[in-house]
Structure 1
Amino acid sequence: MPRTVRLLVVARAVNRLGAFSLPFLTVLLTTGFGAAPAAAGYVGAAFGLATIPSRLLGGRLADRIGRRRTIVVGLAGCALAQLGIAASDSLASAACCAVLMGLAFEIYEPPSQAMIADAVGPDEQVRAYSLLNAALAAAGMGAGLLASALGRWDLRWLFVADALTCLLCALTVQLVLPPDHRTAAADTRPAAAVAPWRDRSLLVMLAAGTLFAVVCLQIMVALPLSLELTGLQPADAGLLFTASALTIAAGQPLLRLDRLATLPTPSAFLCGYLLMALGLAGYACAGSLAGYLAATVVWSLGDLLLVGRAYAFVAALAPAGGKGRYLAVYGTSWGIGAIAAPLAGTQLIAHTGTFGLWSTMCCACLTLAALHPAWMRAAGRRVPDAAHPQDEAVRTGPRT
């Protein structure tokens, strides 16, 4: 990987190492400020809603003022909001800071993804995005340990530590990543050519990505409750999340194998969705921790095949000067999923139990497996390097 990608991955991993405050926001609002659970839930929903315009703003700024500047602005905004939450003396001020944090929370994502697309050629983008995903997953394991230590002391310190890692990441990005520069393509691009909301191919990717995000976030939201209803300890979800992170991190060398590296994107998506479906079907049938663990490894292998390919495909769809905005629009799928997943998961468990929940998620992945790869084969005529990444590398050579 180029030096820019390696440094960006390290910087984001440092940031992820401290990103453990958000799951404790509701707890802090109820225990520290006396908020009712329903009120704390509304604040959490407002935060999730604010992340959608946050990501869109990040994409626009990435293409307007540059990748590095946008990353620094987003991380600094997150840090200030988190320090505001830690220093709040009332529920109203804490809620306002939480919404402000949501407005800054996703700004640095589109420029990070666009910087990777700028730094490597099409044949390496899948591996580069997968490396970033693996580094964030691995750092997430350390984040849980830090949260366990600081959370026993005072929950406010979680937000202070998170703010410090944001500032450290921003400083690293500012000092070691290459400076921003405007390209000729960016200066002369037609306005209509970079209107992502009018691009039907991108909107199809957004629809598929939203359903995929709902499935993934469902695992985060509903797995602890599912374990409890199965008669296991909800805390065992932490072990399963760690197993998933280890699988994604340890599976990175697989992406360099010729058989996988040359696999057309539609075929890779088909395999990924089928592995996700198989793992979730395992959740539906599991009655022991060992069963849940095996199912977690299977769906994590599917995630390994899907995430890097998805971002590489969207980057290939984008016209010159529009990668930031395209990646931002696609990334809103996670904001939409964050709103839909808790609502859908709790309703499915209430009416169909854990078997119905995971069976439904399995069917969602099977639906994606049946429809999405077929559409990508058609879209591959427009984006041949995304459908067959190695072919474009042979024709044009690596881009730097």
Structure 2
Amino acid sequence: MPRSDPPPRPTPEPPPASAPPPGPCPDALPGPPTEALPRTVRLLLLARVVNQLGAFSMPFLTAVVFADHEVSLTTAGLVSAAFGLATIPSRLAGGVLADRIGRRTTIVLGLCGCAVAQLGVAAGRSLAWTAAAAVLLGLAFELYEPPSQAIIGESVPERQRVRAFSLFSAALAAGGMGAGLLAALLGHWDLRLLFVADAASCLTCAVLIRLALPHDRPAPRAYDRGATAVRPLRDRALLTVLATGTAYTLVNQQTVMTLPLALTRKGLPAADAGLLFTATAATTVLAQPLVRLAWTNRLTTPAALALAHLLLAAGLTGYAVSGSLPPMAASAAVWSLGDLLIMGRVYALVTGLAPPGASGRYLAVFGTSWGVAATLAPVLGTQLLARAGTTALWSAMAGMCVLLAALHLRVTPRPAGPASA
């Protein structure tokens, strides 16, 4: 007998109307926790991991100049400051070029320029040559940051921005774990080899970006219409975030650029800074679930940034009182927790402040905070080390973080929507 199909099941009636389940709080990250990021963002994260594997040469620029050219700490700090000053127009140019010639092209251009300059630093046999290569490196160093951040901010829905920027920070940290070990290994042999390794990672990343990311065709007419209407430097909310962000990056750069010299003042090898960088990178990767915790998401952006800066202060206080590597590694893990909370929140906040189509320029303006810090940090750090010592250096930075925690509660704008929080 032929088999007859069973009668169709009746469609169940919808449940009676009732109050909707409570939604996420204003600062929560809605959406399923396993929601996948777009392919473009995942490829960009992978490429930047490769790039970061060799990216711990810059903290040793001051140490290379000081040791190889037998100059004073002040002169070595000025060379690093020249690099930092050059990164300011580099960051702004990256935002403009991203809109003019496309995000992918700008990223590749910046990475190739960095590779050439890194090899120049490694080959430098005179102070003038090394200084010129450092300035060239600064001019290329920030070109790829605004387009990278713009790709992330524009490729994900608003509810995923904090997570996406936190994962971007984790991707850099994942590469940084290998980079820190590489720095500790090669640094004991020759610090110049770090710049060669960095050049190789830049070129590899450029190839991955060129082959993996889709070709982006800029829209000149759309850019020209927006260029006259969007003036980031007239946005008071952005300028507020830029001011506090610059103070934060000044502290951050002390933990990077001045740390190798501070270790030598304690009688430790400068290359041991690579182990501390690895500790901070490992913490950033392993602590990623922290940004998904319910209580963390319930924090407003000002409160989250205040808590983050108190963690930075605690870690830097540990640097001030520690005299050996193990307690300094523990302190590095503490302040890196604060750094993790800052990165996702602040970049999502800046992206949320930008008008449609202007995120590249807003992120570029905010990113100049890193250039200002890279300019001032070597001068400030070397002067504090020379005149007051390591305890005063780290204590001053911890005090600045406590002040920033209080300022965030008073002046940091609250995002209009949950995604930007």
Task: Give yes or no for the alignment of 1:134 onto 2:166.
Answer: no
Tell me the residue number matched to 1:394. none
Tell me the residue number matched to 2:409. 373
* Corresponding residue to 2:205 among 160, 169, 181: 169
Q: For the residues of structure 1 that align with 2:64 and 2:71, how far apart are their CA atoms?
A: 11
Task: Give yes or no for the alignment of 1:120 onto 2:152.
Answer: no
- C-alpha spacing 1:305/1:78, structure 2 compared with 1 (3 Å): same
Shift of 1:108: 0.4
1:59-81, CA deviations, whole angstroms, 9 ceiling, x for partnerless residues? 11112222111111111222233
Q: For the residues of structure 2 that align with 1:147 and 1:343, how far apart are their CA atoms?
A: 23
- C-alpha spacing 1:234/1:81, structure 2 compared with 1 (3 Å): closer
Unaligned runs of 5+ in 1: 392-400
Shift of 1:366: 1.6
1:25-77, CA deviations, whole angstroms, 9 ceiling, x for partnerless residues? 45666777x57456655433322211111111001111222211111111122
Tell me the residue number matched to 2:279. 243
Q: How does 1:314-393 map onto structure 2 within 5 Å? A: 314-376=350-412, 379-380=413-414, 383-385=415-417, 388-389=418-419
Q: For the residues of structure 2 that align with 1:229 and 1:23, how far apart are their CA atoms?
A: 16
Q: How does 1:213-252 map onto structure 2 within 5 Å? A: 213-224=249-260, 226-227=262-263, 236-252=272-288
Q: For the residues of structure 1 that align with 2:284 and 2:66, how far apart are their CA atoms?
A: 35
Does the 8 Å contact 1:63/1:323 carry over to 2?
A: no
Tell me the residue number matched to 2:17. none
For the aligned residues, what is the CA RMSD?
Answer: 3.0
Does the 8 Å contact 1:189/1:320 carry over to 2?
A: no
Unaligned runs of 5+ in 2: 1-36
Q: How does 1:96-107 map onto structure 2 within 5 Å? A: 96-107=132-143
Shift of 1:304: 1.0
- C-alpha spacing 1:126/1:290, structure 2 compared with 1 (3 Å): same
Q: For the residues of structure 2 that align with 1:231 and 1:153, how far apart are their CA atoms?
A: 18
Shift of 1:100: 1.7
Q: For the residues of structure 2 that align with 1:63 and 1:148, how far apart are their CA atoms?
A: 39
Q: For the residues of structure 2 that align with 1:317 and 1:349, how far apart are their CA atoms?
A: 38
Tell me the residue number matched to 1:398. none
* Corresponding residue to 1:197 among 211, 233, 236: 233
Shift of 1:183: 6.3
Q: For the residues of structure 2 that align with 1:138 and 1:12, how far apart are their CA atoms?
A: 10
Which 10-residue stretch deviates more, 46-55 or 135-144? 135-144
Q: For the residues of structure 2 that align with 1:310 and 1:103, how far apart are their CA atoms?
A: 24
Tell me the residue number matched to 1:308. 344
Does the 8 Å contact 1:208/1:368 carry over to 2?
A: yes
Does the 8 Å contact 2:184/2:272 carry over to 1?
A: no
Does the 8 Å contact 1:134/1:248 carry over to 2?
A: yes
Tell me the residue number matched to 1:275. 311
User: SS where residue 148 of structure 2 aligns?
Assistant: helix
Q: For the residues of structure 1 that align with 2:197 and 2:389, how far apart are their CA atoms?
A: 38
- C-alpha spacing 1:206/1:389, structure 2 compared with 1 (3 Å): same
User: SS where residue 337 of structure 2 aligns?
Assistant: helix
Task: Give yes or no for the alignment of 1:295 onto 2:331.
Answer: yes
Tell me the residue number matched to 2:14. none
Shift of 1:235: 5.2
- C-alpha spacing 1:237/1:98, structure 2 compared with 1 (3 Å): closer
Does the 8 Å contact 1:68/1:180 carry over to 2?
A: yes
Tell me the residue number matched to 1:253. 289
**Bigger radius of gyration among the two:** 2
User: SS where residue 389 of structure 1 aligns?
Assistant: coil
Q: For the residues of structure 1 that align with 2:339 and 2:363, how far apart are their CA atoms?
A: 18
Shift of 1:158: 4.1
Shift of 1:292: 2.9
TM-score normalised to the size of structure 2?
0.80
1:101-150, CA deviations, whole angstroms, 9 ceiling, x for partnerless residues? 22111100111011100111222111111111122122123223334555
- What is the letter of the counterpart of residue 52 of structure 1? I
Between structures 1 and 2, the one with greater helix share: 1
- C-alpha spacing 1:283/1:164, structure 2 compared with 1 (3 Å): closer
Percent same amino acid among aligned pairs? 58
- C-alpha spacing 1:366/1:352, structure 2 compared with 1 (3 Å): same
TM-score normalised to the size of structure 1?
0.84
Shift of 1:161: 3.4
Aligned length: 384
Task: Give yes or no for the alignment of 1:13 onto 2:49.
Answer: yes
Shift of 1:300: 1.3
Shift of 1:155: 5.8
Task: Give yes or no for the alignment of 1:43 onto 2:79.
Answer: yes
